[in-house]
Amino acid sequence: MHDSLSAEAFAHVVNQEGGASHNIKTAKPAEGPGVMVSVPGAEKVTNAPITSGQVKDFRKKHANAASNDEYHGAWKSGEKIFQDISRKETTLDAARKAGSAGKQIAGYDLGKTDERRPEGGEIFFDRSVPGRETNPEWKSTSKATSTQERMQPKPKAQEFAEQAHVSRGATNKGKKISVNEVYATIAKNRRNRGV
């Protein structure tokens, strides 16, 4: 296992690599296999970049109440930094269940958890749509994510061409929309309804 991350090192990793997660008690980095799923209630959003002082403050505020298996996570999205407390779920099924129960949009696979994507990455919850599961790539299993669980809600321009066969040129008020934006809306609506 890697050495613990100081507040300075943690901030550096988040700012330079886009995200990090370390055990809130020991400061040891989270390692795969496993999926990090946020525990609702401790989220904090600030402007980028994150400072070591912000890391120390967040950790100090939450360390006493956190359990030994909880982690301080932070990631950069645009010009914002998101911090949370998360737990490492050891299986995809456990992560899906925890993510749905906590009304979370996504979790982060640390790697070695998903047979279809061993390097890890984001997993988006509550995106199954009846009918698509007839294709094995669109079916989630206890050891593998489905295509829709891996798609980004806001795709890059080049992804529109790759998804044209699925979205069939769908538009909303004249603006092209992608199938992953449709899945994101479905998941959001399910969370809002408590499904």
Residue 109's domain spans which residues?
7-150
Residue 191 has pLDDT above 60, yes or no: yes
| pLDDT tens figures, 156-173 | 665 555 555 555 666 777
Mean pLDDT of the chain: 86
Rounded to two decimals, the pTM is 0.76
Specify if 102 maps to a domain: yes
Q: Residue 80 has which token pair?
A: 């914002």
Residue 135 has pLDDT above 70, yes or no: yes
Specify if 99 maps to a domain: yes
Specify if 80 maps to a domain: yes
Specify if 22 maps to a domain: yes
Specify if 157 maps to a domain: no
d(CA 173, CA 183): 18
Quote the pLDDT of residue 194: 61
**What are the Cα distances from residue 21, in Å, to 36, 73, 86, 118, 151?**
9, 4, 9, 18, 22
What percent of the chain lies above the pLDDT cut of 70? 83
- Would you place residue 60 in the very low, low, confident or very high pLDDT band (cuts 50, 70, 90)? very high
d(CA 184, CA 177): 11
Work out the number of other CB atoms within 10 angstroms of the CB of residue 172: 10
Quote the pLDDT of residue 33: 96
d(CA 73, CA 55): 10
Specify if 19 maps to a domain: yes
Residue 92 has pLDDT above 70, yes or no: yes
Quote the pLDDT of residue 174: 76
Q: Parallel, antiparallel, or unpaired for β 35-38 and 19-23? A: unpaired
Specify if 1 maps to a domain: no
- Would you place residue 185 in the very low, low, confident or very high pLDDT band (cuts 50, 70, 90)? confident
Specify if 138 maps to a domain: yes
Q: How far is CA 27 from the centre of its chain?
A: 20
The number of folded domains in the chain is 1
Q: Give the range among 17-21, 33-37, 59-63, 170-174 with minimum mean pLDDT.
A: 170-174
Distance, first Cα to last Cα, the chain: 39
